[in-house]
Amino acid sequence: MRDCASCQRSLPRSSYTANQYSLGVGVSRCAACVHGHRNDTPSAGNFDSGRYNISSSADVEMWDLDNPFSEGSFRWVAKGTYTSGPRHGQPCVVKWFKTGAVFEADYFTLDIKAADKALDIVNKFNELNIINKSVKVNVPAVWKFQNPSKWAGQHVLCEPFIQNYQKFNSNSGWFDDSIPWGEAMQALSHFSYHISGGQFVLCDIQGGVYQHEVVLSDPVILSRNRDYGVTDLGPVGISSFFSQHRCNNFCRSNWMKLSSPVQIFRPVARTTMMRHTVPTRQSRPDSTYLYN
């Protein structure tokens, strides 16, 4: 890491051109400053792109609890209905863990943390008017099952329901290039790296496209320090993203890029997860540190 002589941010070597990096500490200027992106830096002061529950309670029918409409490798997803607040009568989604899920202890906290970081990035993205719709982020809240059932007392994440759900990219470098929205969301991922000075990539972007906005849910943040849980693949995930990314009409030419990216993960549509601690290479069987 090195402090940029212009913006004073502590940035990785990949944020500098070879020429600037060779100038040494106290003189090097990051690529973003060299190419003048600071005139393109949004303030995000007037934006709140969050989509909130605006409610304190919801009902989920017992049939829906026993037959959730979506099942991941370690959690259930069921549809409910808000019973209070401005969203009264509107659909919501609750997500909770299967018995024995190994991530439950910290997953809720990290899920909300990732949503907050995504919201900060999307606020800045919206201010630049790169696309003709605003981008929204579902902001989940931790609730608890109250009804008398086998799930009573268990914590859940609750957020507004999204229509026409689809996935635009993943956290391993895969993206859907068959539709324009796939390219737009790839640009959002690229922008997140640029605006964070190479510290983060917002990815695993999925949600629904509406008439005036696109709403996202379950975002993944790839970070330099792997601060966002088992879906945060860290620097190797960032490298994998840029190994697959090709700038499109929504990207701007002055946005920072990772130099010499390497494909570490096989690009797949599903979310890739990685434990924070794994056995040493000598004792680890092939491919056991990754699972989906």
15 & 142 share domain = no
Which of residues 232 and 285 earns the better pLDDT score?
232
Contact 86, 57 (CB under 8 A): no
Of 3-12, 90-99, 260-269, minimum mean pLDDT range:
3-12
101 & 130 share domain = yes
Query: Could you give the CA distance from residue 42 to residue 203 in angstroms, rounded to a whole number?
Result: 20
Indicate which CATH number applies to the domain containing 100. 3.20.200.10
Helix (H, G, I), strand (E, B) or coil at 15: helix
174 & 270 share domain = yes
24 & 120 share domain = no
Amino acid (1-letter code) at residue 3: D
Per-residue model confidence as pLDDT tens digits over 58-117:
998 876 777 777 666 567 889 999 999 999 999 999 988 766 555 555 677 888 899 999
Has residue 45 been placed in a domain? no
30 & 57 share domain = no
25 & 119 share domain = no
Has residue 93 been placed in a domain? yes
Structure-token pair, residue 284: 């680890």
Give the single-character DSSP code of 136. Answer: E
Q: How many domains does the chain have?
A: 2
Predicted local confidence at residue 213, as pLDDT: 93
Block residue for tokens 């409610």: 55
pLDDT higher than 60, residue 229: yes
Q: Which domain holds residue 11?
A: 2-40
pLDDT higher than 80, residue 279: no
Per-residue model confidence as pLDDT tens digits over 175-219:
998 888 999 999 999 999 999 999 999 999 999 999 999 999 999
137 & 9 share domain = no
pLDDT higher than 50, residue 292: no
Predicted local confidence at residue 104, as pLDDT: 59
35 & 70 share domain = no
31 & 56 share domain = no
Has residue 187 been placed in a domain? yes
Predicted local confidence at residue 262, as pLDDT: 96
Which of residues 141 and 67 earns the better pLDDT score?
141
22 & 87 share domain = no
Has residue 91 been placed in a domain? yes
* Mean pLDDT of the 275-279 span: 54
Contact 107, 115 (CB under 8 A): no
Q: Is the pTM of this model over 0.85?
A: no
Which of residues 278 and 284 earns the better pLDDT score?
278
Residue 154's pLDDT band (cuts 50, 70, 90): confident
Helix (H, G, I), strand (E, B) or coil at 177: coil
Q: Which region, left, alpha or beta, applies to residue 118 given φ > 0 means left and ψ of -120 to 50 means alpha?
A: alpha
Contact 195, 183 (CB under 8 A): no
81 & 14 share domain = no
56 & 102 share domain = yes
pLDDT higher than 70, residue 39: no
